[in-house]
Amino acid sequence: MKIQVINGPNLNMLGKREPEIYGTLTLDEINRILEEEGIKKNVIFSFFQSNHEGAIVDCIQQCNENMDGIIINPAAYTHYSIAIRDALASINVPAVEVHLTKIDEREAFRSISVTKDVCISQFFGKGIDSYLEALSYLIEKWKVSKKEGDNE
């Protein structure tokens, strides 16, 4: 199984940026933990981070050709990027939205996600475990789709 992990703006600052909110893990450490878990579960990852909306849209669109799933933390774009929402809606690859923090318990604007309705699930508020739960969820969905494909 091949999974694209997409991280949005300012996530490259993890570990330095407001550690009391986001924790002390860096994005590289999160990616390494995912990769280690992926090795155990026969998952190959591609990792992408950008502070630029259009680059994220391009990455999402490219997934349609060669990925089995997407784990996306759109970060601030979660709350207002119709472009990212539309890119996720335009492809045939299941995406799971993740957030390190409890977005529904923070500032009011953070409780709005314009991307969640085009994702198959959403995990948030558990730090790195949000990513790991998304990984497990995607693997299970992929296994079910493969079994259903075998029965046709």
> Left if phi > 0, otherwise alpha if psi is -120 to 50, otherwise beta: which for 68?
alpha
List, for residues 116-136, the tens digit of each pLDDT value: 999 999 999 999 999 999 999
- The CATH H-level superfamily of 2-150 is Dehydroquinase, class II (3.40.50.9100)
- End-to-end alpha-carbon separation of the chain, Å? 20
* H or E element, residue 72: strand 69-73
Distance separating alpha carbons of residues 59 and 5, to the nearest angstrom: 10
Q: Which of 22, 77, 131, 137 is catalytic?
A: 22
List, for residues 76-113, the tens digit of each pLDDT value: 999 999 999 999 999 999 999 999 988 876 666 667 89
Task: Give catalytic status of residue 22 as yes or no.
Answer: yes
Q: What are the sequence ranges of the domains in the chain? A: 2-150
Distance separating alpha carbons of residues 1 and 22, to the nearest angstrom: 29
Of all residues in the chain, the percent with pLDDT exceeding 90 is 80
Q: Which of 52, 77, 80, 99 is catalytic?
A: 99
List, for residues 40-76, the tens digit of each pLDDT value: 999 999 999 999 999 999 999 999 989 999 999 999 9
